[in-house]
Structure 1
Amino acid sequence: MTNKSAETKPAKKASSSYTIMSELVLPGETNTLANLMGGKLMYWMDIAAGIAAQKHCNTVAVTASVDNISFANPVKLGDIVTIESIVTRSFNSSMEIYLKVWGEDLRAQHKYLSNEAYFTFVSLGANGRPYMVPEITPETEEEKERYNGALRRRQLRLILGGKMKPEEAGELKALFV
C-alpha cells in the first residue's frame, strides 16, 4: 500500500533529477588487465542513480532492479569515469533512471562511451513503505523518447520478474501485433 498524500505533489521536470558523478580509476579498483572492475562501476552507477531518484522524490529511495548492463568499452587504470543519471519516468512509487557512463583518458584527450543502463528505484516513506512520487514532465526530444519507452521497459521488467503476464502487457503487445 502506498501513501496517497504524495499525489498532491506537482510534477517535476526530468532535468531536475540530472546528476553527474566522476571518479578516478585507481589501482585497487582494477582487474589484472588494468581495467575498472565491473562490480566497482556498478556500485558507482547505483550511487548516481540513487542520487537522481532522491532528487526527484525527496525521500529515501532504494534499488529495485537493474536492467542489462553491457560493457561496450573498458575503462582503464588512470582514466576518469563520468556517470550521468536522470529519472525518465515515475510509476506510483517507482522511478526509472537512465544512466550513461563515459570513460576519459585525459592524457590522450579521448572521451569514450563505456555503457548505458536503466535502474529502477522505489521511494520509501518514513514508515519504510513505498511512497508515491511526483510525475515527470519531459521537455527535450530525448527526454520524451525515454519517457515514452519507459512503459514498455517497465512491462518487460514485470514480465521477467513474474509480476505480470505477457498478455497483460498492452504496450509490448502493440509492438508485435
Structure 2
Amino acid sequence: MSEVVVARTVAESRSERSEIIFPSDANALGNLFGGRLMQYIDLVGAMAASRHARAITVTASMDHLDFVAPVRVGDLLILKASVNRAYRTSMEVGVKAMVEDVRHNRMRHVSSAYLTYVAVEKDGTRIVVPQVIPETEHQKRRYEDAGRRREMRAGETQRKKEIRAALGDEWHI
C-alpha cells in the first residue's frame, strides 16, 4: 500500500550550513577551492531535498553555478538552501552561499547554484515526492523560474543524446 504524498511549503525544506574556511580548504592564494565550495553546496542542497522528500536523495545535476566572489581563509561561510519546485520524483533546490563579516554584521554574496535531486528508496528505486507550496512572492518567482530551467535542461539533455548518437564511440571535447 503506497503512502499518500502531501504537498509541503518551501519553509519546511530550508536548510543551512556554516563553515569556517581553513588553510587546508584553500589554494595558494588563500581562496577556498571551487570544488570544496561545490561540495558544501551539494551537502546543504541534499539536506533541503531530503527534508522535503523525507527520503534519501541523490544528486542528479548541478547547473548554473556562479562563483561571484572569492571565499578566503578565515571567512565564515553560510550556505542556505530550499526546494524551489518538485516534479514527480525530482526536485530543484536553490543554494545561496554568503560570507558573514562578523565584525560589521554584514553578509557578502559569494555563490549561487541550482541542483536537481531525485528521491530514492535504499535500493535506488525512485519514489514520488511531495509538490511544493510557494507562499511568498519571492518563492513563487523561484517556482516559475525553476520550470523554465527544467525546460532548458530537457532541451540540453536531448541535444547531448543526439550528439552522442551521431558520434558513436568517438570521443570529442
List structure 1 runs of 4+ shifted beyond 6 angstroms. Answer: none
Query: Deviations 1:71-109 (Å, cap 9, x if unpaired)?
Result: 111011100110000001101000000011001233454
Where structure 2 has 5 or more consecutive residues not aligned to the other structure, the ranges are: 162-173
CA distance in 2, matches of 1:105, 1:113: 11
Matched, 1:70 2:62: no
Matched, 1:140 2:136: yes
2:2 maps to: 5
- Report the CA distance between 1:126 and its aligned residue: 3.7
Q: What is the RMSD computed on CA atoms of the aligned residues?
A: 1.9
Letter in 1 for 2:48: A
TM-score, length of structure 1 as denominator length? 0.85
Letter in 2 for 1:116: S
Q: SS of the counterpart of 1:113? A: strand
Contact conserved, 2:5 with 2:128, CA < 8 A, in 1?
A: no
Number of aligned pairs?
Answer: 161
1:158 maps to: 154
1:125 maps to: 121
TM-score, length of structure 2 as denominator length? 0.87
Where structure 1 has 5 or more consecutive residues not aligned to the other structure, the ranges are: 166-177
Distance 1:164 1:9, change over 3 A: farther
Query: Deviations 1:44-66 (Å, cap 9, x if unpaired)?
Result: 11000000000000111000000
CA distance in 1, matches of 2:11, 2:159: 30
- Counterparts of residues 94-133 of structure 1 (less than 5 Å): 94-107=90-103, 109-133=105-129
Distance 1:20 1:160, change over 3 A: same
CA distance in 2, matches of 1:126, 1:41: 27
CA distance in 2, matches of 1:98, 1:13: 15
Match of 2:77 among 54, 77, 81: 81
Letter in 2 for 1:5: S
Match of 1:30 among 16, 26, 29: 26
Identity of aligned residues (%): 35
Q: SS of the counterpart of 1:100? A: strand
Contact conserved, 2:91 with 2:116, CA < 8 A, in 1?
A: yes
